[in-house]
Amino acid sequence: MPHKFLFLSLIFIILLGLYYYATTAKPLPLYAFASTSAGNGDIFIMASNGQLRNLTHDPSGDWDAAWSPNGKTLAFTSHRSGNSDIWLIKVDGQTPPQNLTNDPSWDYSPTWSPNGQRVAFVSERDGDYEIFVQDISADKAIQLTFNHEMDRSPAWSPNGNSIAFAAVREGVERIHAMHPDGTAEQVMTSQIEGTAPAWSPDSTQVAFIGWDKQNRAGIYTIDLKTNNLSQHYHGRAWLGSLDWSADGPWLTFTSWEAGNHEIYALQANLANPTPYRLTCQAAWDDFLTFNPQAKFSPTNCTAPAKPTPLPQTNLIKGLSLADLSKAYLVNDVGFAWAKGLVNWATVEPKRGKFRWVDPDNVVKAFGDQHLKILMRIHGTPDWAKPAKTILSQPPDDLADFGTFLTAVATRYRGKIAAYEIWNEPNLTYEWGNQSPDPTTYTAMLKTAYQAIKQADPDALVISGGLATTGNGSPTAMGDLVFLQGMYTAGAQGYFDAFGSHAYTFGNSPDLVDPYGLSLSRVVEQHQVMTTNGDSDTPIWITETGCAIKTHWDLGIHSIGNVTEAQQAEYLARLYEKVPRDWPFVKAVFLFNLDFSTVSWYPTHEQMRWYAILNPDQTPRPAYIELGSRK
């Protein structure tokens, strides 16, 4: 009898425990993703019961999480340490996150080894973009790739044998693979360019984002046994951030096709699947990562986000960008203009022999996004300048310059809205390493104005943006002196707007620097214009921006660096201040959107640190802040 009572008591305790677990256990996490819906970027977790939980809450920005094989930990990119590091956090949210890499260089894009003991990631500590790996119990990383271009988006195969990654070689991006020790690198997708690899659960296929011969993005898979290439989805807009569910049937990706960054899922085994839309927030949602311990079943969201129409404003707002595929982001941040470049030396390498591919690409990319174009003209071909002179040397014969601009304006009549003539001609380096000469520059400007207006009367001509140089230096003429020299040489009437490169020099837009090194320099420039009876001609700020702090030596651009938060604050205030206080300024072009993301600039290149996108193509706080003011 006592034994029977003991047995029944044990059964009761077990049943009570099961009941307690069933009523109190947390639902299984299905996937994690990053979103700006609560700030500058946080990691969110979606549970099996449809509950969305904000896992991280840091104002600096958390991005591109990767789930550990046991489903208990996320590795993610965070800027909370003042730069970009790989951090680890338990998904139960009970313990503080741990900084894994803790290096002054930028680390991002983590991926786990199948045994959960190591994390591979991209790091810029070698001076460019390389793949590193670090044991989660170690404090040092091991470098796996050693190239002078870009290696990014690593993905560890589920069987542990390979790391796939996107590699740029000689300007072309394809999917490569290597052993986890960095040996035996090989090209996986020689048939097509591609990025963002994701492995199938059985390690026999790799999905990736590829481009066809018309440069249209799509989602492809390559079978590693047969080398067969299959297209599964043809994108109608930008595509990125692939992941493959652990149970096999599903691929997820990010797309901007609804006018917002949203996450989609499609069936991997279908040739032409219809994607499910998983997120519908008015936010940048990205980098979905599947819990390998969960089975995924998609559900369409029910409240689609509608894109915000561009505002009606008298201030022209534009962006400089390096990667034409990111032109859609100009609209995303609420701007209607983009700035492109025409290098005369590239377009007309021999007199009368034109190669239009570069400006054609710019005009098409911007035109496809319904952006108005400011095109800067610069660079003299060898045949039009003295031997052994640099690209910025002014041409020997201005008639050659006029002939070239006639050809440009004729070809792009009605497509290019404005032309900026040369770049910072008051700098020695931008004037062929000679002393800047406003008289000769004015002659160039007159020639350009007449040629462009004859070919396209509606196109605007902007004088070459002068660098803000105060009273000048051995390598620069003071911008006010140069401007007055232009008027003395008869420039009035030969430009529709005066171009100015009025930077903040790391200070608040409200600062007035006594030496003229501040945004307010435009007030003094306008006074020179007024003195010369030209007050009705507007000023266009064709470059401005703030460089963020970095441990790299950026030369003079290391002076006045700001935090990411300060960059956001100063640029937002700049776009408020200019139309309110200086109505004579009619345009502000921000430098720049994305120079941090392209393979042709090394990590210590100063232009990368003015960007409002991170190297992993996530938005910096400045991007989010400007976009919120659309």
Phi/psi-derived region of residue 29, left when phi > 0, alpha when psi is between -120 and 50, beta in every other case:
beta
Tell me: do 136 and 54 sit in the same domain.
yes
Would 7 be classed as within a structural domain?
A: no
pLDDT at residue 518, as a whole number: 95
pLDDT at residue 389, as a whole number: 97
End-to-end CA distance of the chain: 78
pLDDT at residue 214, as a whole number: 77
Would 421 be classed as within a structural domain?
A: yes
What is the CATH number for 468? 3.20.20.80
Count of structural domains within the chain: 3
Would 604 be classed as within a structural domain?
A: yes
Query: Which tokens sit at 292?
Result: 């390998």
Tell me: do 231 and 280 sit in the same domain.
yes
pTM for the predicted model, two decimal places: 0.92
Domain boundary among 156, 181, 208: 156
Tell me: do 598 and 476 sit in the same domain.
yes
Tell me: do 552 and 620 sit in the same domain.
yes
What is the CATH number for 119? 2.120.10.30
Question: Which of 137, 133, 136, 224 shows the shortest CA–CA distance to 181?
Answer: 133
Q: How far is CA 574 from CA 451, 518, 544, 568, in A?
A: 34, 12, 10, 10
Domain boundary among 156, 173, 203: 156
Question: Which of 397, 401, 394, 396 shows the shortest CA–CA distance to 419?
Answer: 401
Q: 566 Cβ partners below 8 Å, 6+ apart?
A: 546
Tell me: do 332 and 265 sit in the same domain.
no
Would 186 be classed as within a structural domain?
A: no
Regions of the chain where pLDDT drops below 50: 1, 17-24, 310-311
Tell me: do 370 and 436 sit in the same domain.
yes
Would 596 be classed as within a structural domain?
A: yes
Tell me: do 533 and 424 sit in the same domain.
yes
Domain boundary among 246, 270, 289: 289
Would 513 be classed as within a structural domain?
A: yes
Rounded distance between C-alpha atoms, residue 415 and residue 390, angstroms: 30
Would 11 be classed as within a structural domain?
A: no
Rounded distance between C-alpha atoms, residue 222 and residue 476, angstroms: 55
Q: 578 lies in which domain range?
A: 316-628
Tell me: do 364 and 452 sit in the same domain.
yes
Tell me: do 259 and 223 sit in the same domain.
yes
pLDDT at residue 4, as a whole number: 54
Tell me: do 37 and 126 sit in the same domain.
yes
At 422-471, the pLDDT tens digits run 999 999 999 999 999 999 999 999 999 999 999 999 999 999 999 999 99
Tell me: do 197 and 69 sit in the same domain.
no
Tell me: do 378 and 448 sit in the same domain.
yes
Would 577 be classed as within a structural domain?
A: yes
